[in-house]
Chains A and B, each alone.
Chain A
Amino acid sequence: MKIDKNTINKIARLSRIKLDDKESEDYIKDLNSILDWVEQLNEVNTENVEPLSNISSSILPKREDVSKDTNSSEEILENAPDKLEGFFAVPKVVE
């Protein structure tokens, strides 16, 4: 797999990152070399090998269904650039 200009633009758009031409070129180079490096894994024959999802053989920890009163509104909104009456206020999202 090769990363080209179109792919980089698509990734940038999906990530909501604006790249200028020079940055695009740099990222194309970087990402390609990362992919090349990972490609080496293709040399290993993985036929009939189950994908490994868990190296620690631990199991998914679960919690009981107990709700904790967070009363969070002040703390949660502290970092909001804009807020009103307990709501986050963001630029209008029109569907």
Chain B
Amino acid sequence: MNNLIKGEKYDWEMVIGLEIHAQVKSNSKLFSSSSTKFGSSPNSQVSLVDAAMPGMLPVINKYCVEQAVKTGIGLNAKINNYSVFDRKNYFYADLPQGYQISQYKYPIVGEGKVTIDFKDGTSKDIRIVRLHLEQDAGKSLHDQNPSKTYVDLNRSGVALMEIVSEPDIRTPDEAGMYISKIRSILMYLDTCDGNMQEGSLRADVNISVRKPGDEYGTRCEIKNLNSIKFIKQAINYEAKRQIEILESGGSIEQNTMLFNTSTGKTRPMRNKEEAHDYRYFPDPDLLPLEISKEEIGKIKSSIPELPDELKNKFIETYKLSNYDASVLTAEKQTSDYFNETINSDPELKNHAKIVVNWITSELFSLLNKNNQDLNNSPVSPENLGQLIKLISTNEISGKIAKDVLEDMFSSGKTARQIVDEKGLQQVTDQGEIAKVIDEVIAENPKMVEQYLAGKDKLLGFFVGQAMKLTKGKANPKMLNDILKQKLNKKN
């Protein structure tokens, strides 16, 4: 695969690594009992610990630790029996402590890897460097007042898992696929709700460019991207910016960048003089975190089937392609829906590919169009199964089935009801189809002449006319066969 991008003078390769911040799905914060609920009124979920009142001490949330371990196992990573919480020191208005409790030298999870699958059937491993636990900061609102910044500390202290990848990513698409895969694993594990819009999952992107085969170039870090679309846009823009500088003889300054979502551009965030010096040191308020083999084993045994396992199972059981299976398993709700659909009728197991298509193209596009989610799809898996069975038994044509699905979607009726009410059963009676074809042939003598003179494309016209007369209900294959037969007889 050619992953190079063209500059004015040379071809360039992007080198990309991601730091993903995933909020742990928990009831209370990492070191305090305040609620983690999203969207509550400002500063209503702030304990004295979160507000960093003097003398307050952090007490770690056992569940958050377990979720981090669970996630580590899901990332095929090494779980560290011993890890340490450090203070990362900096001043910012949304960080009352003046430091963030994080993990530096000894993270809870070490090296791992995840696999991304391409459309052409190939796949690639992206290595994970580490996962560590840390506190989220509060939220600052900069645009409400010309001279003030407003601060809400509700998010302050919520547990975050920071997942750091090796710079194994080479294209914006790979970056998108990587974060989708991480999101998928987190959601199967139920350790993070994966909601990028609410900021439960966001990423910092490290990017540099080089000529193929060269050493890594100097990188820039783009902070705090909260959608896959923005991640791709930011990478594209930043790579182009760096290439322009390098090709005009300049050099890249290592910098932290912000991405402006309305202009699609990146710009440096902090100037060099204020380059951060975080002065990490072990937090004296917290003892090292030790996890026994038994505890890890117990968590391991609670892990559900993950997307990759499920994917392989689908490939094996239903002979699906790697890509189809990875699309089905990308989100748990999709694989659940597929399972329920295909198990709703024993017949359907032999038509798995059709089931996949009806879910991932027809149903998905209807859901998209109506801004709805598979979780509350108006068409239940059983009803979709029934529709597909009507297709596979030739009772209705695929084309009519699309209309039926739309009807099911809006009316909530079953496929059977709609087909019966509207009389949509396919016409499979030879005589009836032949009669219609005779009619079409008789009405269009000129066209017949042209067809016989070699204008083969006109076959489509005759099919169309005959379909019109049968209101689309003629079995397409039979229609085609009989039509050809009859026309050729004229010859």
A-to-B contact residues, CB < 8 Å: 10, 14, 16, 53-54, 58-73, 76-77, 82, 84-95
Contacts and interface: CB of A to CB of B under 8 A. Distances in A.
Contact of B62 (A65, A82, A92): A65
Contacts of B141: 87
Contacts of B149: 89-93
B91 A76 contact: no
B300 to A, nearest CB: 19
Contacts, number: 134
Contact of B93 (A60, A66, A76, A88): A88
A82 B148 CA distance: 10
B449 to A, nearest CB: 75
B35 A73 contact: no
Nearest to A68: B33
16 contacts: A59-B290, A60-B286, A61-B59, A64-B62, A65-B61, A65-B62, A65-B64, A66-B33, A67-B36, A70-B47, A73-B43, A73-B46, A82-B148, A86-B44, A92-B146, A92-B147
A21 B61 CA distance: 46
Interface string B48-85: 00010000000111111100000000000000000010
A6 to B, nearest CB: 13
Interface size class of B (residues with CB under 8 A): 35 or more
Given A54-B288, A59-B290, A93-B149, A66 B28 contact: yes
B279 interface: yes
Contacts of B33: 63, 66-68, 70
Interface in B261-298: 269-270, 277, 279, 282, 286-290
A87 B41 CA distance: 9
B258 interface: yes
A94 B35 CA distance: 29
Interface in B390-433: none
A53 B145 CA distance: 47
Contacts of B42: 73, 85-87
Given A53-B287, A87-B43, A93-B92, 4 more contacts: A60-B60, A68-B28, A73-B42, A76-B46
A87 B151 contact: yes
A70 B46 contact: yes
Chain A interface helix/strand/loop/mixed: loop
A70 B270 CA distance: 36
Contacts of B145: 84, 89, 92
A54 B287 contact: yes
Contacts of A88: 43, 93, 150-153
A52 B379 CA distance: 61
B61 A72 contact: no
B45 interface: yes
Contact of A87 (B91, B150, B290): B150
B140 interface: yes
A89 B89 CA distance: 22
B43 A76 contact: yes
A10 B276 CA distance: 11
